[in-house]
Amino acid sequence: MKKLAFVLFFALSAVTALAQDASVVFEAGLDGYATFRIPAIVKAADGSLIAFAEARRDGKSDNGNIDLVMRKSFDCGRTWREMKVIWDDGGNTCGNPAPVVVGNSGEILLVATWNLGKDKERDIERNLSADTRRVYVFRSEDNGENWSGPVEITPMVKNETWGWYATGPCHSIVKKRNPDKGRIIIPCNHSELDGQGVPRSFSHIIYSDDDGKNWALGAITEMNGNESSVAELGNGDLLLNMRRSTSADSVRYYAISKDGGRTFEREGRQEDLVGPRCQGSILNLTGENGKPTRTLIFSNPKNSGKRMNLSLSISRNNGRDWKCLKGIFSGKSAYSDIVRVDASHVGVLFENGEGDETYRRISFVIARIEK
């Protein structure tokens, strides 16, 4: 098992990263792929961890020949089984994994996006592309061992005037409290043209009340959010945490929904969550009864301008205030996702590298939660 060099900071040690448990899940060159990006992770009903990523065949570009892949671990992320390809559509782009475990059976839904490999994001945003971004759902009834084919849901969840569209990328959730207990919530973002024909980015939610058979477009932000992550709070509200869409700011944005994701009641800037323009992930540390609590964990690069210093932050009051807990990876690092491993640990799946190679690998590390 490959190891990473970690710099740990214990001044705020409610969460302490265990460097000796770090493992490399995806690395440039694996199975002939040039780059792996866009991590997401869930814990399956059989107790295994399933890590998802985009496998980019020819380089680091966000477009082109990109497949959706996974690896599975039965020992809390110490070792990982052979990589499986879930979605390979030739030279086209398949990605933005947003997985969620649903229902009493433990079925896994994987919501993801697609576009023609030759279409670039800037052209899709301006409605100048040959096709557009489309949204699909996969299902696994055996804890990720096998997957259904992709089922398109684009007409249910995307307005015709929108250009770019992205699901997650990170884990999604099922509501555990009322209102709308059992609702599947997927964090997303999209672009639309303003009056001058300039694309603007917004975050939004899509949801399903029948285990993913039918979908609806929910709340849309007024702020210019981008890639987002969602958590249910201890009172049943939803908290959407967003990457900003421009580089002119250095804090995260947030939105609160009190009606199960139909509308946002309040939006604002999360002043104590600093970071570059980069994806982040939020997780509620649910109690022993499986219900959401007031305690949240958040992961992102803790640096105002650069993608480096991947860190965990913690809130014990439903996300109103956050404390930074530096200690995951001090070097080049970017996208990440968080999973609850057991009552005392979370796992962090994150992009990292050294020198100029921010996206050399996707690694996994265990972090202990202090009482």
Q: Give yes or no for residue 348 having a pLDDT over 50.
A: yes
Q: Report which of 26, 88, 24 is spatially closest to residue 52, judged by C-alpha positions.
A: 26
- State pLDDT tens for residues 49-102: 999 999 999 999 999 999 999 999 999 999 999 999 999 999 999 999 999 999
Q: Which whole number is the average pLDDT over 148-159? A: 98
Q: Would you kindly state where each structural domain of the chain is located, as residue ranges?
A: 40-286+299-312
> What's the pLDDT at 1?
40
| Percent of the chain at pLDDT exceeding 90 | 87
Q: Give yes or no for residue 16 having a pLDDT over 50.
A: no
Q: Report the alpha-carbon distance of residue 113 to residue 111 in Å, rounded.
A: 7
Listed in order, strand segments (DSSP E) in 116-237 are 134-140, 151-152, 165-167, 173-174, 184-193, 199-208, 216-220, 225-232
DSSP 221-259: -SS-EEEEEEEE-TTS-EEEEEEESSSS--EEEEEEESS
35-43 and 49-56 as β-strands: parallel, antiparallel, unpaired?
Answer: antiparallel
pLDDT tier for residue 371 given thresholds of 50, 70 and 90:
low
Q: Which whole number is the average pLDDT over 238-242? A: 98
Domain covering 40-286+299-312 assigned CATH 1.20.1070.10 in the classification: no
Determine the length of the chain.
Answer: 371
The answer to whether residues 318 and 296 touch, using CB atoms and an 8 Å cutoff, is yes
Let me know if 8 is exposed, middle or buried by CB neighbors in 10 A (0-12, 13-18, 19+). middle
Q: Report which of 320, 241, 312 is spatially closest to residue 14, judged by C-alpha positions.
A: 312
- State pLDDT tens for residues 314-333: 999 999 999 987 579 999 99
- Tokens linked to 149: 């084919």
- Tokens linked to 71: 């690896």
Phi, psi of 113 (to 5 degrees): -125, 165
Global pTM value: 0.94
Q: Report the alpha-carbon distance of residue 369 to residue 14 in Å, rounded.
A: 6
The answer to whether residues 352 and 333 touch, using CB atoms and an 8 Å cutoff, is yes
The mean pLDDT value of the chain amounts to 92
Q: Report which of 65, 14, 69 is spatially closest to residue 41, judged by C-alpha positions.
A: 69
Q: Give yes or no for residue 311 having a pLDDT over 90.
A: yes
Q: Give yes or no for residue 172 having a pLDDT over 50.
A: yes
For the ranges 62-66, 119-123, 174-178, 286-290, the lowest mean pLDDT is seen at 286-290
**Neighbouring C-alpha atoms within 13 Å toward the C-beta of 365:** 30
The answer to whether residues 47 and 358 touch, using CB atoms and an 8 Å cutoff, is no
